[in-house]
């Protein structure tokens, strides 16, 4: 681990391999900054010199620091922060970076939160991020997820967009301000939680117990300013698989013996697999032929159906392929579970729990992003419609379960929404003859809405409108849930731009270098406006 840390610290310096295009960016930070001083750029304001320095020189530093952070495999679902050696190693690297740049560093909790600080006095501005990432199954990636590379103007690697690229943008923006001798009028904090993708308790405790900055900006969703967040909902359906029938009913071809889809609750599955065994009187060949026929029958109605079937010993395996995306943008992907359930519904299967749950998916979820078929649909003018995505299907300990992730807008209170889930569970039970029921662990999060007329939103909207030349842009809402919801009046500001694909939880996660560059420049302007030269 010591060798790994030393290598990381070398990479935390500006990367020589990423040659700066502007000759003023050559050399060490002190030499670079001197070329953007008030002496070198006479007649320009501190804000203009800072903006010029960041625009000319920040990107290489941001890319290098992002690559360093991505190399730490900080998958919180595999090991929580307190027991995750990769999180601990990343913390040591960040502490060394902070020391090298003259910033304070502390750990809050058992590696729950890393806090870097600049300035004195009460917290004035907090930039909030998360350092943990979701899993990156190697079979889904074309590149090594924890060996980041730049290809054709994009940086690839798990976490480059969610959230390690943004962390690097924030840190580099502060470092460059300090290089120029600028000083904040209060303390500026970089707040990095390490359980956003799994367990929020560490960051929640931080938000509840530590002094709260006047302004809090999370950089974990999109632009222009995301002032509202949908409530996060976790819902589970399950059924006992049941034992095989000694004498199958006439016409039954196969028994579903296993099914699998999705990697985690917050990602739409990019692949789904159903394993079938022939019932008594049938053969693997007849099952294989039946599945091929079902695929052929379903294909005309599904132009994008991608399904393969093969024999594995005495069983037959059906696999469908979709497009994996973050569940908060489920309507931008293609759910492989929909196709699996549709093909399975054309097969004569023994009526066990797996078959019953697949029938439920076909009837109540297939083709419906908004819960209409479940009787859940509603929407809000600012936050849009309810989003519903079945994401994880598994067989374990004799039961089959389906994890469903929803993003609910304001407009229906918790009691009403819970009642609608109760009614949906009842419908599903009736559909399946009582086989499928709601599982344990229902979770219902509340929507979060910030003050869109307050100084924080107005400042950030002004920055976005100027930088993007988008005077008509207005605050928006996200379906995802970020740490912003833990802080009063907090908002999200980047890193994804409108009409650009968000790859945060997807295979081959990437971010455009242009996006990293512009995000860093806008964060720097926010730091200057809100903390270095705040309005009286």
State pTM to two decimals.
0.73
Question: From CA 509, how far away is CA 240, in angstroms rounded?
Answer: 36
Residues 6+ apart with CB under 8 A from 129: 163, 166, 167, 170, 190, 191, 192, 193, 218, 219, 220, 483
Q: Give residue 382's pLDDT.
A: 84
Q: Please report, rounded to a whole number, the percentage of residues in the chain having pLDDT higher than 90.
A: 88
Do residues 404 and 424 touch, judged by C-beta distance below 8 A? no
pLDDT at residue 501, as a whole number: 82
Euclidean distance between CA atoms 58 and 55, whole angstroms: 6
What is the Cα–Cα distance from 452 to 385, expressed in whole angstroms? 20
Pairing of strands 104-108, 113-118: antiparallel
- What's the CATH fold of domain 231-444? Alpha-Beta Plaits (3.30.70)
Report which of 168, 239, 162, 149 is spatially closest to residue 196, judged by C-alpha positions. 162
- List Cβ neighbours of 462 (8 Å cut-off, separation of 6 or more): none
Residues 368-407: tens digit of each pLDDT: 999 999 999 999 988 999 999 999 999 999 999 999 999 9
pLDDT band at 453 (very low <50, low <70, confident <90, very high): confident
Q: Give residue 19's pLDDT.
A: 41
Q: What is the pLDDT of residue 500?
A: 87
Q: List for the chain the helix, strand, coil content (%; round to 5).
A: 35, 25, 40
Q: Which stretches within 210-255 are classed as H helix?
A: none
- Token reading at 347: 């097969």
- The two beta strands, 123-130 and 443-444, are unpaired
Give the confidence band of 4 by pLDDT, cuts at 50, 70, 90: very low
Q: Where in the chain is the domain with CATH 3.30.70.360?
A: 231-444
Q: How far apart are CA 513 and CA 150, in angstroms?
A: 9
Q: What is the pLDDT of residue 369?
A: 98
Tell me the residue length of the chain.
Answer: 536
Is 60 exceeded by the pLDDT of residue 328? yes
Which pLDDT belongs to residue 415?
A: 98
**pLDDT at residue 248 is higher than 90:** no
pLDDT confidence of 3, banded at 50, 70, 90? very low
For the chain, count helices (H), then strands (E): 12, 25
Q: Which residues of 73-91 are buried (b: 16+ CB within 10 A; e: fewer)?
A: bbbbbebbbeebebbbbbb
Confidence of residue 21 (pLDDT cuts 50, 70, 90): confident
CA end-to-end distance (rounded Å), the chain: 48
Rounded CA separation 22/58 (Å): 11
Q: What is the pLDDT of residues 276-321, one digit of tens each?
A: 999 999 999 999 999 999 999 999 999 999 999 999 999 999 999 9
Is the predicted pLDDT of residue 105 greater than 70, yes or no? yes
Quick check: 14 pLDDT over 80?
Answer: no
Helix 164-179 × helix 513-527 angle, to 10°: 50
Write the pLDDT tens digit of every residue in 199-233.
999 999 999 999 999 999 999 999 999 999 999 99
Record the tokens describing residue 113, joined without a space: 């939160």
Is the backbone peptide bond immediately before 224 cis, with ω within 30 degrees of 0? yes
Q: In the CATH scheme, what architecture does the domain 23-230+448-532 have?
A: 3-Layer(aba) Sandwich (3.40)
In three-state secondary structure terms, 321 is: strand
Q: Where in the chain are all domains bearing CATH 3.40.630.10?
A: 23-230+448-532
Taking the C-alpha atoms of residue 446 and residue 465, their distance in angstroms, rounded to an integer, is: 30
- Taking only the tens place, the pLDDT of each residue in 460-481 is 999 999 999 999 999 999 887 8
Q: Cα–chain-centroid distance for residue 114?
A: 20
């Amino acid at each position: 681990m010591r060798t790994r840390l030393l290598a990381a610290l070398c990479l935390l310096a500006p990367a020589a391999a990423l040659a700066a295009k502007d000759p003023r960016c050559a050399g060490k930070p002190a030499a670079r900054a001197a070329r953007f001083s008030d002496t070198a750029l006479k007649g320009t304001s501190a804000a203009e010199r800072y903006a010029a320095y960041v625009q000319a020189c920040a990107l290489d530093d941001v890319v290098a620091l992002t690559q360093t952070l991505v190399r730490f495999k900080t998958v919180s679902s595999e090991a929580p922060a307190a027991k995750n050696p990769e999180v601990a190693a990343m913390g040591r690297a960040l502490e060394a970076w902070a020391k090298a740049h003259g910033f304070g560093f502390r750990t809050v909790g058992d590696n729950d939160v890393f806090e870097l600080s600049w300035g004195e006095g009460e917290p004035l501005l907090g930039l909030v991020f998360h350092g943990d990432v979701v899993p990156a199954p190697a079979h889904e990636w074309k590149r090594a997820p924890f060996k980041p590379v730049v290809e054709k103007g994009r940086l690839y690697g798990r976490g480059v967009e969610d959230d390690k690229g943004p962390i690097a943008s924030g840190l580099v923006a502060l470092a460059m301000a300090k290089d120029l001798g600028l000083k904040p009028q209060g303390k500026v904090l970089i707040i990095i939680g390490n359980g956003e993708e799994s367990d929020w308790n560490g960051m929640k405790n931080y938000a509840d117990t530590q002094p709260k900055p006047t302004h809090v900006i999370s950089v974990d969703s999109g632009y222009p300013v995301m002032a509202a967040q949908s409530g996060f909902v976790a819902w589970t359906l399950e059924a006992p698989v049941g034992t095989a029938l000694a004498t199958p009913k006439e016409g039954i071809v196969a028994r579903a013996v296993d099914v699998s889809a999705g990697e985690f609750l917050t990602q739409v599955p990019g692949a789904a697999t159903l394993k079938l065994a022939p019932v008594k009187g049938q053969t693997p060949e007849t099952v294989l032929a039946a599945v091929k026929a079902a695929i052929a029958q379903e294909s005309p109605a599904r132009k994008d159906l991608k399904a393969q079937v093969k024999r594995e010993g005495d069983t037959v395996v059906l696999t469908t392929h979709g497009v994996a995306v973050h569940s908060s943008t489920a309507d931008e992907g293609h759910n492989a579970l929909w196709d699996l359930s549709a093909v399975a519904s054309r097969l004569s299967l023994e009526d066990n729990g797996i078959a019953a749950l697949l029938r439920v998916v076909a009837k109540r979820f297939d083709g419906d992003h908004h819960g209409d078929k479940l009787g859940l649909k509603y929407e809000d003018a600012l936050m849009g419609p309810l989003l519903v995505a079945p994401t994880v299907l598994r067989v374990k300990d004799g039961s089959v379960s389906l994890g469903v992730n929803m993003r609910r807008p304001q407009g229906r209170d918790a009691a009403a929404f819970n009642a609608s889930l109760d009614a949906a569970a009842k419908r599903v039970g009736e559909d399946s003859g009582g086989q499928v029921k709601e599982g344990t662990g229902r979770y219902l999060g509340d929507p979060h809405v910030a003050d869109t007329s307050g100084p924080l939103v107005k400042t950030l909207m002004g920055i976005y409108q100027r930088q993007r030349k988008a005077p008509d842009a207005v605050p928006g809402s996200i379906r995802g849930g970020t740490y912003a919801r833990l802080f009063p009046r907090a908002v999200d500001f980047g890193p994804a731009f409108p009409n650009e694909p968000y790859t945060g939880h997807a295979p081959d996660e990437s971010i455009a270098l242009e996006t990293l560059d512009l995000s860093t420049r806008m964060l720097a302007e926010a730091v200057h406006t809100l903390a270095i030269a705040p309005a009286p």
